[in-house]
Amino acid sequence: MHTVTLTINDNAVVAERNLTILEVAERAGITIPALCHVKGSRSDNPCELCVVEIAGFEKHGLKSTLDTAGLFCACSTVAQDGMAVLTNSPAVIAHRRERLAIISQTHFGDCKAPCNLTCPGQINVQGYIAHVAKGEYEEALRLIMERNPVPFSVGRVCPRFCETRCRRILVDEPVSINHLKRFVADWCMSHDVDLKISREKPSGKRIAVIGGGPAGLTAAFFLTRMGHDVTIFEAAPKLGGALRYGFPEYKVPKDVLDYEVNSILKMGISIRLSQKWGRNFTLQDLKDRGFDATFIGIGAGVSQPLDIPCAENTHVYTATRFLRAINEGRVLDVGRRAVVIGGNNIAMEAARSLVRLGLEEVTIIYPRAKVEMPANQRNIREAENEGVQFLLMASPLDICGQANKKSRIKLGLIRMKLGEPDKRGRREPLPIPGSNHDLYVDFVVSSLGQMAVDGKFKGGELESLLDVSPRGTLAANPRTSQTSVEGVFAGGDAVTGPKSVIQAVVAARRAAENIHAYVTGQAKAAAESRFNFTRGKSFDDVDFKNFDGINIKLRGKMPERPADRSTQDFDEVKLGFTERMARREAERCLSCGCTAFERCELRQLDIEYDVNINKTGMGKIPLYTKEQSHPAILVDRNKCIFCQRCERSCEYDALELRAASVDKYGHPLGLEIIFKDNCVSCGKCVDNCPTGALNKKSRIVPIQAEAVRRVRTTCPYCGAGCQIILMVKGQTIMEVTADPDQAPNYGALCVKGRFAHDFIQHRDRLKHPMVRKNGVLAETSWEEAIEVAAKGFFDLKAMYGPDSIAGFSCARATNEENFLLQKFMRTSIGTNNIEHCARL
Q: Is residue 290 domain-shared with residue 310, that is, in the same domain?
A: no
**Per-residue pLDDT, 704:** 66
What average pLDDT is seen over the chain? 91
47 Cβ partners below 8 Å, 6+ apart?
Answer: 34, 35, 36, 99, 103, 641, 643, 666
Q: Is residue 245 domain-shared with residue 376, that is, in the same domain?
A: no
Q: Is the pLDDT assigned to residue 801 strictly greater than 80?
A: yes
User: Per the domain annotation, does 616 fall within a domain?
Assistant: no
DSSP string of 206-219?
A: EEEEE--SHHHHHH
Dist. CA 410–CA 423, nearest whole Å: 37
Give the residue among 175, 163, 164 at the shortest CA–CA distance from 584. 175
Q: Is the pLDDT assigned to residue 352 strictly greater than 50?
A: yes
**Residue burial 656-672, b: 16+ Cβ < 10 Å; e: rest:** ebebeeeeeebbbeebe
Q: Kindly state the percentage of the chain with pLDDT values over 90.
A: 71
CATH of the domain at 20: 3.10.20.740
Dist. CA 235–CA 280, nearest whole Å: 9
Q: Is the pLDDT assigned to residue 290 strictly greater than 90?
A: yes
Most confident among 332-346, 443-457, 710-724, 729-743 (mean pLDDT): 332-346
Q: Is the pLDDT assigned to residue 15 strictly greater than 60?
A: yes
User: Per the domain annotation, does 229 fall within a domain?
Assistant: yes
Give the residue among 695, 678, 650, 838 at the shortest CA–CA distance from 753. 838
User: Per the domain annotation, does 650 fall within a domain?
Assistant: no
Burial of 512 (C-beta count, 10 Å sphere; 0-12/13-18/19+): buried
**Per-residue pLDDT, 706:** 65
CATH of the domain at 373: 3.50.50.60
User: Per the domain annotation, does 701 fall within a domain?
Assistant: no
Dist. CA 443–CA 357, nearest whole Å: 12
User: Per the domain annotation, does 717 fall within a domain?
Assistant: no
Q: Is the pLDDT assigned to residue 435 strictly greater than 90?
A: yes
Most confident among 453-462, 547-556, 716-725 (mean pLDDT): 547-556
Return left, alpha or beta for 170; rule: phi > 0 is left, psi -120 to 50 is alpha, else beta: alpha
Following CA atoms 55, 57, 58, 64 in sequence, which dihedral angle do they give, to the nearest 10 degrees? -120
Phi, psi of 350 (to 5 degrees): -65, -45
Bridge partners, 560 (sequence order): 574
Q: Is residue 416 domain-shared with residue 470, that is, in the same domain?
A: no
Per the CB < 8 A criterion, the answer to whether 347 and 319 are in contact is: yes
Q: What is the mean pLDDT of residues 691-712?
A: 84
447, 482, 510: which is the final residue of a domain? 447
Structural domain boundaries enclosing 355: 305-447
CA atoms within 13 A on the CB side of 64: 17
Amino acid, single-letter form, for residue 152: F
Q: Is the pLDDT assigned to residue 839 strictly greater than 80?
A: no
Q: Is the pLDDT assigned to residue 776 strictly greater than 70?
A: yes
- Higher pLDDT: 758 or 291? It is 291
Residue 634 has a CB neighbour count (10 Å cut-off) of 20
Q: What is the mean pLDDT of residues 32-52?
A: 90
- Higher pLDDT: 614 or 165? It is 165
Q: Is residue 33 domain-shared with residue 146, that is, in the same domain?
A: no
Q: Is-cis flag, bond preceding 744, omega within 30?
A: yes
Per the CB < 8 A criterion, the answer to whether 105 and 619 are in contact is: yes
User: Per the domain annotation, does 552 fall within a domain?
Assistant: yes
CATH of the domain at 551: 1.10.1060
Q: What is the pLDDT of residues 141-183, one digit of tens each?
A: 999 999 999 999 999 999 999 999 999 999 999 999 999 999 9
Domain count across the chain = 5
User: Per the domain annotation, does 27 fall within a domain?
Assistant: yes
485, 520, 555: which is the final residue of a domain? 520
Q: Is residue 323 domain-shared with residue 410, that is, in the same domain?
A: yes
**Per-residue pLDDT, 255:** 95
Amino acid, single-letter form, for residue 540: D
Q: Is the pLDDT assigned to residue 789 strictly greater than 60?
A: yes
Helix (H, G, I), strand (E, B) or coil at 25: helix
Most confident among 34-43, 117-126, 223-232, 694-703 (mean pLDDT): 223-232
User: Per the domain annotation, does 60 fall within a domain?
Assistant: yes
Q: Is residue 309 domain-shared with residue 442, that is, in the same domain?
A: yes
493, 520, 547: which is the final residue of a domain? 520
Q: Is residue 487 domain-shared with residue 563, that is, in the same domain?
A: no
Would you place residue 840 in the very low, low, confident or very high pLDDT band (cuts 50, 70, 90)? very low
Q: What is the pLDDT of residues 622-654, one digit of tens each?
A: 889 999 999 999 999 999 999 999 999 998 999
Q: Is residue 38 domain-shared with residue 152, that is, in the same domain?
A: no
Helix (H, G, I), strand (E, B) or coil at 72: strand
Q: Is the pLDDT assigned to residue 1 strictly greater than 70?
A: no
Q: What is the mean pLDDT of residues 792-819?
A: 88
Q: Nearest 5°: CA angle at 701, between 697 and 705?
A: 140
Q: Is residue 119 domain-shared with residue 179, that is, in the same domain?
A: yes
**Distance set, CA 288 to CA 80, 202, 249, 492, 521 (Å):** 68, 21, 39, 26, 21
Would you place residue 705 in the very low, low, confident or very high pLDDT band (cuts 50, 70, 90)? low
Strand-strand pairing, 394-401 and 427-431: unpaired
Q: Is residue 341 domain-shared with residue 439, that is, in the same domain?
A: yes
Q: Is the pLDDT assigned to residue 487 strictly greater than 60?
A: yes
Q: Is residue 534 domain-shared with residue 468, that is, in the same domain?
A: no
Q: Is residue 288 domain-shared with residue 334, that is, in the same domain?
A: no
343 Cβ partners below 8 Å, 6+ apart?
Answer: 364, 366, 368, 372, 373, 374, 375
Q: What is the pLDDT of residues 521-540, one digit of tens each?
A: 988 877 788 899 999 989 99
